[in-house]
Amino acid sequence: MGANTSQVSDLSESQSIRTLIGPDAISENEPFWNQLISFTFTSPTCSADAKLLEEAVVPLAKTLIQNNPRSGNFGALVRVFLSRTKELKISTECQDQLFIWQAHNALFLVRCLLKVFIREMNEEELHLQFSYQERAPGTYDSICEDLLEELACNLVHLIVEVPLLDITYNILFEAVTTLLVLLSYQLFHKEVLKEGLIYGYLTRGRCLSLTSRLVKTLLYNFIRQEKCPAATHVLQTQSEGGGLLYGLASGVASGLWSVFTLGGVGSRPGAEQDQNPLPLSNQSLLLLLVLANLTDSPDTPNPYRQAVTCFKNTQDSSSIPSPQPHTFQINFNSLYTALCEQQKSDQVTLLLYTLLHQNSNMRTYILSRTDMENLVLPILEILYHVEERNSHHVYMALIILLILTEDDTFNRSIHEVILKNISWYTERVLTEISLGSLLILVVIRTIQFNMTRTRDKYLHTNCLAALANMSAQFRNLHQYAAQRIISLFALLSKKHNKVLEQATQSLRGPLGADDTAVLPDYAQDLNVIEEVIRMMLEIINSCLSNSLHHNPNLLYALLYKRELFEQFRSHPSFQDIMQNLDTVIGFFSQRLEQAGSDLSVERVQEVIKKGAAALPKERLKKFPELKFKYVEEEQPEDFFIPYVWSLVFNSGVGLHWNSQGVELFGMDSP
């Protein structure tokens, strides 16, 4: 490397690199270091390039691991980087692009080596690699510094202190990426790590006071969605004087400053975000999610989670001081806009879930928005394309809906928002439909998909809970939404009859069958299907009891398919709830009979509308209000930490890990 444009293939031949990893100590004052970090290298941004880089670096890093106890060159490289970070802010103010470029290169080298070190050794052994250093004969070093802690703290300082400009974009990206790499020990452990050296550096001591600033900066990096600067903005004066340093010729930095113009962001290679890469935004969000999901240590709660749960809106003029530590203010409008625009990415949906679930200020703000469709529509689109999404992304989208439907104002207002021509909904042309009716359609479709494919009880439960929360507030349901509610009931009824028949046959048993043969557990299947049917009856009943006169289309669909409900009238599990449905069906059937035979659709709807106003409410039995609240599992980290790291593994820009050593999750994880 050194003083010229390099490619992955040049790494092992580079004399500078061979000197760095060799057995001879290089004092940090040697001109060698300036030469080493004056290179241009197109950092990888797609997974294929990152894999090539990783494969090239591994043997070099392993050689350094063997020689570093004698040479101390890794520690010297880290100190060279740290000496430059002290002047980064001044360099930025002075537009000293060369200085920033060299600091970036030093950090890039540190990060590439660290990534292999972390895979090859535990934290204590890593700590030793930082402590080896060259000793001149007869000298005594009384300064006992913790170079690993120094690096971690300097990276945090760099991220929060150095402003995001064209000339600092890449070094800020590299700082965020290096922190992710430092925390990547978790990937190589099956169990969730609750303590560790690097964990301690970031959650206690010198970094603790920067917690809120780091969270705020990472959030703003996500909000700003800055693209990588074009190469033309940087080192424009490089041809003057015949070169910059050690023969740097015109254009030598162009590769470095266009490092992010190739690959992109996305949970899968080839995702559409690749066309518009936002590496700093993506990597900052991944780091934020990793930090916010660190476990609490026995004596200290995770400060990053505290910061995420209590930040406030910059528009909040309340003078009441927050009792929470690490609080700060951020522009909620900008954050809301970014959340709405980026929902196709798993990590943005996870951030939205985290904020809705944990930050009451943000939840209140989101629920008060009058443009809720901007947030809800992308969530519905995720669910609509359920077969293309990983299960975790679908869960997060569903839980977001469940949290939103806990709020009655939300449940009312979504029926007032009228949408035109939803292009991604392809099963039927919907020229005009309310957001509420569309939400019902998509949730029912998710239930039906789950019944035929995945059969995931957790998915069923959350879908039905969201519908139940909304049911009392159903208003002016679209004709198609009303039909789909009854069609879902028809599907459940058919499935119930089939399982019941199978259960009956299995009890009789085939002639000559072996008594010890294992039979399918039809009783359990029957129990699950009856729970779902009960829930659907309660949802229909809740709508009829609370807003009958607002939903003529549901009444029409119910009467049209009334024979579906007859078999459940005398069923002990449904008798109580069936009384109300019987009352409604009987009342309207009688009115339709009185109106005569061969009624047109319009005439039937007219009879229904008049009847809805005339039905005596006291004839309907009162049931408790249907309300479900989302509650996290007892040990949420067992789900969220593997999920977050699977996102880093799949979507980290310019990062590649060999899957063989990864133990935290299976390779079929999202």
Tokens for 181? 């790499």
Q: Which of 555, 554, 584, 561 is nearest to 482 (CA)?
A: 554
Stated as kind and residue range, the H or E segment containing 413 is helix 408-413
Q: Please tell me the distance from the alpha carbon of residue 423 to that of residue 156, in angstroms, as a whole number.
A: 44
Q: What is the dihedral of CA 652, 653, 654, 656, to 10 degrees?
A: 20
* Residue 410 neighbours by CB under 8 Å, 6+ apart: 367, 372, 404
Q: Please tell me the distance from the alpha carbon of residue 586 to that of residue 651, in angstroms, as a whole number.
A: 57
Overall residue count recorded for the chain in this entry:
670
- For residue range 600-632, list pLDDT tens digits in order: 888 888 888 888 888 888 888 899 899 999 998
Residues in the chain with pLDDT < 70?
1-13, 42, 134-144, 231-277, 319-322, 454, 507-521, 667-670
Q: Which of 556, 662, 653, 530 is nearest to 278 (CA)?
A: 653
Helices in 427-574 by DSSP H: which ranges?
435-452, 457-471, 479-508, 522-547, 552-560
CB atoms within 10 A of CB 205: 13
Contact in structure between 20 and 67 (CB atoms under 8 Å) = no
Residue 138's region, left for phi above 0, alpha for psi from -120 to 50, else beta, is left
Distances (CA, A) of 602 to 338, 486, 552, 557, 572: 45, 20, 11, 14, 37
pLDDT at residue number 247 = 29
Domain spans, the chain: 8-132+145-231+278-325+638-654, 476-506+520-624
Q: What are the strands, taking DSSP E only, across 212-258?
A: none
- What single-letter DSSP state applies at residue 273? G
Q: Please tell me the distance from the alpha carbon of residue 304 to that of residue 179, in angstroms, as a whole number.
A: 14
Q: Which of 607, 609, 602, 606 is nearest to 550 (CA)?
A: 609
Contact in structure between 328 and 215 (CB atoms under 8 Å) = yes
Contact in structure between 264 and 274 (CB atoms under 8 Å) = yes
pLDDT at residue number 256 = 30
pLDDT at residue number 236 = 34
Question: Helix axis angle, 47-71 relative to 73-85, nearest 10°?
Answer: 110
Q: Which of 436, 492, 488, 495 is nearest to 466 (CA)?
A: 436
Contact in structure between 653 and 260 (CB atoms under 8 Å) = yes
pLDDT at residue number 668 = 61
Q: Please tell me the distance from the alpha carbon of residue 462 to that of residue 398, in angstroms, as a whole number.
A: 7
